[in-house]
Structure 1
Amino acid sequence: MKPNILLIEVDQMRADCLSIMDHPVVDTPNLDQLARDGVLFTNAYAATPSCVPARASILTGMSQASTGRVGYQDKVPWKYENTLADEFSKAGYHTQSIGKMHVYPTRSLCGFHNVILHDGYMHYNRFKFNTKTMESADSVDDYLNWMRDRTIGHVDLSDLGLDCNSSTMARPWHLAEELHPTNWLTTQSIDFLRRRDPSKPFFLKMSYVRPHPPFDPPSVFYDMYRDMDLPDPPLGDWADTNDRSREGLNPVTAKGLVPKQRFQRAQAAYYALITHVDHQIGRFLNALQEYGVYNNTIILFVSDHGELLGDHNLFRKSLPYEGSANVPFILADPGNHLSMKKNSRLEEVVELRDIMPTLLGAANIAIPDTVEGKSVLPLVRKEQDVQWREYIHGEHTLGNQSYQCITNGKEKYIWYSQTGEEQFFDLIKDPKELTNRIQEADYVQRIQVRREQLIQELAGREEGYSDGKSLFVGKAVKSTLAHALT
């Protein structure tokens, strides 16, 4: 029988928040072991670092330009010819998704045989019934109904008083730990092992909402970090340090000067959520062993994007800086089906669209022609003369902060399309992006190479950013390209 495939996604986890990456405080013993049982990619990126475009690339293996999702926009139907789950289903796998999908319509299967859904407290489902979408959180979310069946009174995620996008506020979970959405997802996933068709291999996608806000870890995990001496976030010489309008006081801020104690609570809670997820992943790995399938399961762990967490006085995601765009990416193979060199790290630049060809390749399933990503299997097998990409193209529409960027994990060129501002970071010498080198003479040639690459990437795009020779500032941005709207 072919190997089982397990895709573990988390939401909004930074690449550096792993103890195997020598983070000064975060403890991730189970993820560390997955990395020891496989390969850790240190230069993995979300090319368009927010939930909708990132997940579109994961499920289709296509670039953001091909999915049409170059920014964040809800309520655009997902109409893709080939999806990761559909290919596994057609190949005879029993396919199941548990947790976050963030697709539209909300309960679209996207090729899975079944979906058990918890997307978090979605923006367009906050109203009890939305006449435009004909959906409500009550009707589409399996976790909320499950939780209410096990509690007294009308219990909701909003009871904590935390917004679903606030990266600056935190408080401990208010119910029993087993009722937390992180525990629920693991419980449902273990139940899938019991109920699955044993005559078929399985493809299971476990998609945790945390450590995405609300920052609400169970107390036992919050207590691990709340009294620690936590690291200060990096502050680049280019960062805004004024915050004259006091944006940092907004509980759902994306930037600004946040009161110190408020920030430290949020920081502790964010780290706590990561350790909580790690423990629940360990719980599921134990279940794989108990059901006798651990050594016949290939595991890929990834996040859809990161969290700035105060870096350069910025919060949340969407921007091109390392805290937001650099993601953890671990391919583990306990049974050694892939003949990889285990307990190793690779520096080749990879991105989320590489997940689909990698997992299909691991199961020896043909990769559809629509897939633009590249399988990492030749890299992990240390094959000779592997031709790998030189860089990735990243972007995100974000009002006046809309940008385009080029990076190979060792240097990064950023162009803000509405203002023309440019930045260049030498990530080898300056991994925390403290110094913008755009005006430094020593980098002129390297900057021009990256600028030319971006000019070619954008040539012919409908927004009119480039004619193949120059970049044009101030062109109207679109979060979704025309072909994805038809």
Structure 2
Amino acid sequence: MQPNILMLFPDQWRGDWIAALGDLPLRTPNIDALIARGTSLGRAWTPSPLCAPARSCLATGKRYGEAPVLHNQMDNPFGTDTFYTRLRDVGYQTGNAGKSDLLKGGDSWGATGRHVIDGTDQLAGLGFTHGMDSCGKKAAEKILKSGAVEPYTQMLKARGLEAAFLEDYARRPVSTPDRPPMADWISGRIATPPGAFAYTEPAPLPDEAYNDNFVGRVALDTLQGFDKGQPWFLMVNFPGPHDPMDVTASMLDGWDEVTFPLPRLRETTDPERQQRIRRRYAAMIENIDRWIGRYLAHLEESGQLGNTLVVFASDHGEMLGDRNLWKKQVPFEPSVHVPMVLAGPGVPSRGHLAGLPANLLDLPPTFLALAGAEVPADYAGFDLSGWLGGGSYPRETTCAGLGPWRAICDGRYKLVCGFRDDLFQEAQQFEPFDPESFDDGLLHDLHEDPEETRNLRAALPGVRDRLLAALREEYGPTLPSLRRRLADAATL
């Protein structure tokens, strides 16, 4: 019997920020329950720690450099072969709710969120039969200013909230205008967080108009609208807990006195500001967990929970002040490590498997195998269905890349090649990888040095050479075409 698949996919959720995984004072009872009755893959990585590349890799089953999208200014071409299309072709209803980040470049959402261009439904072209695509947080500001049409911002306009939203977001700038290199942040020469993090006043919106709640409601409506006589796949793309720290006043209830560990490897001269930032990140997490509880309750009440595979993951992590860095794009664990939890039919109750290497790219072949669909031979991930059924684990290492760097990890040892802290953080995505970077880099023992401070490349030549050979095999064939594609994209 083909299982239903509910994929919960928030944006920028760190792999270690779940209550069940440690001693952080978080409130994630529904995710904790999924881990308790299912399996959590402890060293799961994103294929690329940036929204559009990560989601393109996931959709196509391809590693970074082979998937169509290399940076956040590229879209998936119409007709891209996706696992959503392949699920649809074997009888699934396929739904998307929220920011897919697959078609955001042309501002073509439209009021329905279906990206209809010249009468052609672009969202259907990616394989989605149900639901809609909507924008993320800062994209909403851009769209409101440009006059483009999109579902979430149309709702803000209809409720007379456009001006309040724009006034609030003007205080939450994403970036630094002078584009300093990351080294200035890591060294502490720049100490104040970007405005999207530093400004922590509550958003002036009613709860039902908050972006995550808008997406949450659309997802629940889509879930309730599926034909129960036909299998379905639903991907719920919450915009949070992505920056800015724009929670509503009610979302902050009960968080004022909660104390979190301060950022690591950072001279913390502003501890109360750091606490405010972390409380708001946690409040967004708690709000999304509530929606997960609503979905699970609906599935149980409608008799579908027993035949629904529930997957919780995220496109990438969040530095959250560690190393004095924010957001993502870097190869450090807070950026590349993501949650990856599976629960439901055929998933054993293994709990959290710390250190087990995994990748978001393992989800497409697993979904297709469970659905009885053909798994393309060129998919970069591993089908985990056999392992879930009691077989051997198929993966030895996990990989990630973006712009000039590539990284690989076997669960304990991690090799990074090509990372450049002389670049502005947002510029990482546009730089090509230099093959000579394979000749240098960083090797860390994540068991003994989880903060990645000691380079063991010279001290452990055997480990270095083993991981370097695997990294070359993983990415070497992609490099010539990748350089051409980056050059072509730069001329557009």
TM bracket (short chain): 0.7 to 0.9
- 2:367 aligned to 328, 342, 359, which one? 359
Which secondary structure does the structure 2 equivalent of 1:43 belong to?
A: strand
Q: Does 1:267 align with 2:272?
A: no
The residue number in structure 2 matching 1:448 is 465
How many Å apart are 1:167 and its aligned residue?
3.6
The 2-side partners of 1:77 and 1:114 are apart by 19
What is the aligned residue count? Answer: 437
Q: Does 1:285 align with 2:296?
A: yes
The 1-side partners of 2:477 and 2:491 are apart by 18
The residue number in structure 2 matching 1:5 is 5
RMSD over equivalenced CA pairs, Å: 3.0
Q: Which has the higher helix share?
A: 2
- 1:207 aligned to 211, 233, 237, which one? 237
The 2-side partners of 1:342 and 1:455 are apart by 33
The residue number in structure 2 matching 1:429 is 448
The residue number in structure 2 matching 1:62 is 62
TM-score (norm 2): 0.80
- 1:218 aligned to 230, 242, 248, which one? 248
1:375-394 deviation per Cα after TM superposition (whole angstroms, max 9, x unaligned): 122222221xx262322332
The 1-side partners of 2:229 and 2:481 are apart by 52
TM-score (norm 1): 0.81
Q: Does 1:86 align with 2:85?
A: yes
The 2-side partners of 1:80 and 1:349 are apart by 32
Q: Does 1:409 align with 2:411?
A: yes
Matches within 5 A, 1:176-215: 176-215=206-245
The share of aligned pairs that are identical, in percent, is 26
How many Å apart are 1:289 and its aligned residue?
2.1
Contact 2:164 2:204 in 1 (8 A): no
The residue number in structure 2 matching 1:119 is 135
How many Å apart are 1:117 and its aligned residue?
2.4
The residue number in structure 1 matching 2:264 is 234
Q: Does 1:146 align with 2:155?
A: yes
Change beyond 3 A, Cα 1:263–1:482: same
List gaps (5 residues or longer) in structure 1: 131-135, 242-256, 466-476
The residue number in structure 2 matching 1:389 is 395
1:312-364 deviation per Cα after TM superposition (whole angstroms, max 9, x unaligned): 1111101111100000000010xxx3153453536431111111111122222
Change beyond 3 A, Cα 1:97–1:36: same
Contact 1:391 1:408 in 2 (8 A): yes
The 1-side partners of 2:231 and 2:487 are apart by 37
How many Å apart are 1:30 and its aligned residue?
0.6
The 2-side partners of 1:98 and 1:50 are apart by 19
Contact 2:38 2:342 in 1 (8 A): yes
Which secondary structure does the structure 2 equivalent of 1:394 belong to?
A: strand
Contact 1:169 1:263 in 2 (8 A): no
1:76-121 deviation per Cα after TM superposition (whole angstroms, max 9, x unaligned): 4435642121112111111110001112255331110134222214
Contact 1:186 1:283 in 2 (8 A): no
Contact 1:341 1:381 in 2 (8 A): no
Q: Which amino acid aligns with 1:86?
A: T
The 1-side partners of 2:96 and 2:368 are apart by 16
Matches within 5 A, 1:334-349: 337-338=345-346, 340-343=348-351, 345=353, 347-349=355-357
Change beyond 3 A, Cα 1:28–1:427: same
Which secondary structure does the structure 2 equivalent of 1:301 belong to?
A: strand
Contact 1:341 1:382 in 2 (8 A): no
1:152-209 deviation per Cα after TM superposition (whole angstroms, max 9, x unaligned): 6644365343235734432323222122122222211221233223332211111101
The residue number in structure 1 matching 2:193 is none
Contact 1:168 1:258 in 2 (8 A): no
The residue number in structure 1 matching 2:118 is none
1:225-258 deviation per Cα after TM superposition (whole angstroms, max 9, x unaligned): 33322202221xxx8x7xxxxxxxxxxxxxxx78
1:266-299 deviation per Cα after TM superposition (whole angstroms, max 9, x unaligned): 1221111111111121122212223332222111
Q: Which amino acid aligns with 1:162?
A: R
Which secondary structure does the structure 2 equivalent of 1:42 belong to?
A: strand
- 2:331 aligned to 320, 324, 329, which one? 320
